[in-house]
Structure 1
Amino acid sequence: MRKPGMIAALLAGLLLAGCGADSSDQANSAEAPARAPQGAAAGGEAFDQKAGAGAEAAPAEAKDTAAEAPNLQIDQRSIIYTGSITIRVEDVNASAAKVTGIATGSGGFVGGDERHSGSGSDTATIKLRIPADKFTSVVDQLAGLGDEENRGINTEDVTEQVVDLDARIEVQKARLESGKRLLAQAKSLEDLVMLEREVASRESDLASLEGKKRRLSDLTALSTITVVLLDPSATPVDDDDPAGFLAGLSNGWNALVASLGVLLTVLGALLPWIIALGVPAWAIIHFLRRHRRRNTPVVVPAAAEAPTSTN
């Protein structure tokens, strides 16, 4: 007869405990938004916990998903192409115009153009920015302009860097949005100032990541080709050859000639002033010296008295 009463008492106790736990959970959940800014004001811990942990959950899953099965096909990889080609041509200027036409015809543009002439030989160094999918065809077209003497092609696979940057950008965007939500819940001026500073820091980090992504996108979308054009009498410069005695002597002579040219230029610029000011100054000084000599009295030394002899 006691067992049913005991069972009823236990059930009543469990129901009361459950109701108390539910009310406690509701109270804690109601107080959580109000406590978040206060904790953030105490050093940014609530901001990191709410804006960091809560916002990183979804992007972390996206990051894991992107890292699990990235597209590693050749046509989907991010590759930076750079190349250089040296061509000997009959007419450097005419060939340079053809190089520009090849670049614009492929959807690219000229990023730099440096030419040297008048010293017995003509040379031109032209830097092209070409769409990556036209890189090989453009190099082949350039080689057909004359006699190819040197070619160098380099590639750099930056697929992993691009995937990593994409994931970090998504995480930073989610944390920034969570920070803005916390900023809207700020209850005091101190919380507002702290959260605004944190949001500004998140925005700066996001802008930095997006800048790196744009830089990589530019390098992968547009390849760089350096074209060196030489006329038949031009001598290509080989940076790998060690500089010997003759090379040093030639460089020293060129430096001396350049220095003398600068000195003569300065002297030529000063010579008219020297003539215009120096000649009158010399005439005035010469006149003053002559005038001083004429007006200076001549001092005649007194004759020495003969000694008197005493007998």
Structure 2
Amino acid sequence: MGGRRLRGVALVAVGLIAALGMGACGAGGDSGSDSAAPAADGGAGRDAAAEGGADSDQAAPGGTGGADLRVDQRSIIYTGTMQVRVDDVEAAAREATTAVTAAGGFVGADRRSSRAAEARAALTLRVPADRFAAVIDRLAGLGRQERREIRTEDVTEQVVDLDARIATQRARVESSRKLLARATSVDELVRLENEVGTRQADLAALEARKRRLADLTSLSTITVTFLGQDASTAEEEADLGFLAGLGGGWTAFLASARVLLTVLGAVLPFAVVIGVPLWLLLLWRRRVRSRRTPPPGPGAMLPPGLGPMPPGPAGPADGPVSAPPPVPAARSGP
């Protein structure tokens, strides 16, 4: 009996051990297959991401992804100001004009002074935006550059906003025209005509702003000043301090005095021609009135306060003065 029990216990123990081993093998196989699947998926995902990144880099240079932030796709206004000192102002101005014309631009303004001591030329040049930097460098090479200032303004958002507003306004104009074509009464016809006119005016204003921005972005502006060797600086820096304020105040006072004297000189002839005769006429009328007014007679009515004086108390020459009657004393009760 004891041997059978030991064999039964041993068989049960072997069965349990076998069952546990099979469960462990199954769990290990499942976990291995699960871990292998994500690894394979991750490798495929990385390959796809690499291919997508390569495609996106090809679509948008610079590796910026889907957003296109290239400078040539933005609306930027370039403005440059520079001052160059040269030996021959006229020759430098001619070379600048030639350079701008060759770049596809034109001269917007030309102001020159040919005096020997103060020879200068101020040119306002309009050049294509893509040739702005090249023209700036070409102008700086005509002499000794003393000052350069370049400003940029990004108006991309304004251009996009104007495009959207123009499209919306055009749709509103078209809808108003369709309603105008179906008008059935005079009142409705007049109202719709006014609405169409208002919307067309708004559309024209938006399109004018768009053309202005397009002109500023397509053609940059360069203001260059050529100075002779003996010419003074065109723009002096403003001085600060008490003396500068005193000088400015004195200049303003002299300017105000000149304006006042100018006004006085303009008014003086009118005052002499009109004022003097008018003053003489008033003086003559006053004298005539004083002569025509007669003096008041004995029976004339005098104004209040100017009548005969009332008689005063009698003096010693008028006789004795009687004393006032005695006042009886007040009686007390019985």
The structure with the largest alpha-carbon Rg is 2
Indicate the residue corresponding to 1:182 in structure 2. 179
Q: 1:223 aligns with which of 212, 220, 226?
A: 220
Indicate the residue corresponding to 1:94 in structure 2. 91
Indicate the residue corresponding to 2:138 in structure 1. 141
Indicate the residue corresponding to 1:283 in structure 2. none
5+ residue gaps, structure 2, are 1-65, 259-334
Q: Specify whether residues 163 and 71 from structure 1 end up closer, same or farther in structure 2 by C-alpha distance, changes over 3 A only.
A: farther
| Separation in 1, partners of 2:161, 2:236 | 37
Residue 118 of structure 1 and its aligned partner are, at CA, apart by 2.2
Q: Deviations over 1:149-174 (max 9, x none)?
A: 11000000000000000000000001
| Separation in 2, partners of 1:201, 1:70 | 38
TM-score normalised by length of structure 2: 0.52
Q: Deviations over 1:202-249 (max 9, x none)?
A: 100000000000000000000000011011111113343317869959
- 1:62-211 aligned within 5 A: 71-118=68-115, 120-211=117-208
Q: Is the 8 A contact 1:103 1:109 kept in 2?
A: yes
TM-score normalised by length of structure 1: 0.56
Indicate the residue corresponding to 2:27 in structure 1. none
Q: Specify whether residues 70 and 173 from structure 1 end up closer, same or farther in structure 2 by C-alpha distance, changes over 3 A only.
A: farther
| Separation in 1, partners of 2:91, 2:139 | 13
| Separation in 2, partners of 1:111, 1:199 | 38
**CA RMSD across the alignment:** 2.6
| Separation in 2, partners of 1:227, 1:100 | 11
Q: Secondary structure at the match of 2:150?
A: strand
5+ residue gaps, structure 1, are 1-68, 260-311
Q: Specify whether residues 100 and 76 from structure 1 end up closer, same or farther in structure 2 by C-alpha distance, changes over 3 A only.
A: same
- Corresponding pairs, count: 187
| Separation in 2, partners of 1:237, 1:90 | 16
| Separation in 2, partners of 1:106, 1:113 | 18
Return structure 1 stretches of 4+ with deviation > 3 angstroms.
69-72, 243-249
| Separation in 2, partners of 1:240, 1:176 | 53
Q: Which has the higher contact order (CA 8 A, sep 6+)?
A: 1
Q: Give the aligned residue type for 1:152.
A: E
Residue 70 of structure 1 and its aligned partner are, at CA, apart by 7.7
| Separation in 2, partners of 1:241, 1:181 | 62
Q: Specify whether residues 94 and 218 from structure 1 end up closer, same or farther in structure 2 by C-alpha distance, changes over 3 A only.
A: same
Q: Deviations over 1:12-41 (max 9, x none)?
A: xxxxxxxxxxxxxxxxxxxxxxxxxxxxxx
Q: Is the 8 A contact 1:176 1:202 kept in 2?
A: yes
| Separation in 1, partners of 2:67, 2:155 | 13
- 1:226-241 aligned within 5 A: 226-241=223-238
| Separation in 2, partners of 1:74, 1:101 | 28
- Greater share of residues in helix: 1
| Separation in 2, partners of 1:229, 1:86 | 6
Q: Is the 8 A contact 1:71 1:77 kept in 2?
A: no
Indicate the residue corresponding to 1:50 in structure 2. none
Q: Specify whether residues 118 and 83 from structure 1 end up closer, same or farther in structure 2 by C-alpha distance, changes over 3 A only.
A: same
Q: Secondary structure at the match of 1:154?
A: strand
Q: Give the aligned residue type for 1:133.
A: D
Q: Give the aligned residue type for 1:132.
A: A
- Counting aligned pairs with the same residue, the percent is 52
Q: Specify whether residues 125 and 248 from structure 1 end up closer, same or farther in structure 2 by C-alpha distance, changes over 3 A only.
A: farther
Q: Secondary structure at the match of 2:224?
A: strand
| Separation in 2, partners of 1:248, 1:83 | 33
| Separation in 1, partners of 2:223, 2:231 | 18
